Structure 1
Amino acid sequence: MRRATHTETRTTYGEVGATQAPDLMQYPPKGFKPAEYRARVGHGDARFAAAWIATMTWQIQERSGIRVRVDSVPPADESEYTPVQFDEHGQPVDAAEWATARDESRYSPDGTPFLTAGTTATLSIEAYGRTVEAPVRVVYVIDEPKRKGFAYGTLDGHPESGEESWIVDQTDDGSVWLSIRSFSKPSSAKWRVVAPFLRRTQAQYTKRYLRALSLNEKGEQTDEVVVVEDTEAGVGDPRGDERPPTGPRGDAAGTGA
């Protein structure tokens, strides 16, 4: 059976890249609910490197119980770095490569390739005895000396429509932070019926995301996570979910949150 790659599929929203807007919480795209969270996940250069490498290899999602299947990766131009370009529908026009043209810069120390803008993936969630599949496309990457991360947008078939970003940064005092920003809404009438449930689930799993960078391979907490900012329009505090992130994600979700 031929596996869908979603390479020809447009994002289900038009405001591609809007998670970068400074005023997202005050002026979200019309009809969408915004959310923003920030947590300190460690300190020092080694911690920063470990955090952004985990972020750029889908480890935040996988450590939170989501199964990630990468469906397609755009070809990279080995001669230079070119940011991805999108049309007004969120369709990638030109591919981008991670960091520089040097081959080793696109892989983690264990050989795992870093995700790149234009990559499509399917997030699989076990929900009440069935699997909910949520197709997404990476719409941009951030590659700065002290700030790295990415955002993905929803594709057709995702329970929600919108965008979510995960950015790791290191401040002048050496502290390492994870910021999560999103805007979303149910993607269809079927999902609008259960919108309150989707929102609660989104808040619960955001906490798992915030904790994911302090987990080791065995799922054990290695560092204290300090949440200093959590704001979501019309939604409860994500810190209300005290369950550890074990096993595949067990309920329906929004833009991966």
Structure 2
Amino acid sequence: MNPQPRPATDTAPGFSPDPDSLSYPERAATLHRPLPAGYNHLHHRTRIGTGRAAFERAGTAVTTFAMHRAAGLRVRAAGPRAEPGIRLGNALGVGRFEISVPCEVVWTAYESDLTGFAYGTRPGHPEQGEESFLVELDAQGAVWFTVTAFSRPATWYTRLAGPLVPFLQMRFARLCGRRLRRIAAG
């Protein structure tokens, strides 16, 4: 099963108020299937623990960007946790080789058994698209982490990298799952 927050309208709480700040038109498309055509698609789901406590720890790590930091990104966020409209900059690399990835939170899920968010790319990001990070507590008590994304190159160097970019994105999703498994374990 692919957990998804309940769909809502663009004017409902939980959605970014400024679609013009994004670098792609399909805002909040990670809420729906199929994902938009014309993009690379990513879906990764992994079990990270068991029980309410593990779910709470993992959900907090995802929505406070602690999971991203644990995976090696430098995160500068305009707020302490994911909320629609919060802008953040993730950075990877050092000095002249640093890649900055400006994003904006486009939707959130803060439910009893489902927690997470999606962010979309802003101008200046090397890709165009959206990525969601969800933690789910299922009926049997298993805790699952799911990453869903659609993206395409937005710069010359990501176009030049070709199939290497989706490969690296999947590696990052798996790394996030491993880091989150440790966090969920306490």
Q: More helix per residue: 1 or 2?
A: 2
TM-score (norm 1): 0.61
**Counterparts in 2 of 1:55-134, with a 5 A limit?**
55-70=62-77, 72-73=78-79, 113-126=80-93, 130-134=97-101
Code of the aligned partner of 1:160: E
Runs of 4+ with deviation above 6 angstroms: none
Structure whose alpha-carbon radius of gyration is higher: 1
Distance in 2 between the 1:130 and 1:187 partners? Answer: 18
Identity rate of aligned residues, in percent?
A: 30
> What is the aligned partner in structure 2 of residue 136 from structure 1?
103
Aligned match for 1:15, one of 3, 13, 26: 26
> What is the aligned partner in structure 2 of residue 30 from structure 1?
37
The alignment covers a number of residue pairs equal to 169
Distance in 2 between the 1:52 and 1:115 partners? Answer: 11
Distance in 1 between the 2:43 and 2:19 partners? Answer: 30
Asked if 1:162 corresponds to 2:129, the answer is yes
Unaligned 5+ runs, structure 1: 1-6, 74-112, 224-257
Q: Deviations over 1:10-69 (max 9, x none)?
A: 211000111111x23xxx313111111111110011111111011111012111100001
> What's the Cα RMSD here?
2.1
Q: Is the 8 A contact 1:9 1:155 kept in 2?
A: no
Asked if 1:42 corresponds to 2:49, the answer is yes
User: Secondary structure at 1:193's aligned position in 2?
Assistant: helix
Q: Is the 8 A contact 2:27 2:106 kept in 1?
A: yes
TM-score (norm 2): 0.83
Asked if 1:185 corresponds to 2:177, the answer is no
Distance in 2 between the 1:185 and 1:67 partners? Answer: 23
Distance in 1 between the 2:114 and 2:147 partners? Answer: 13
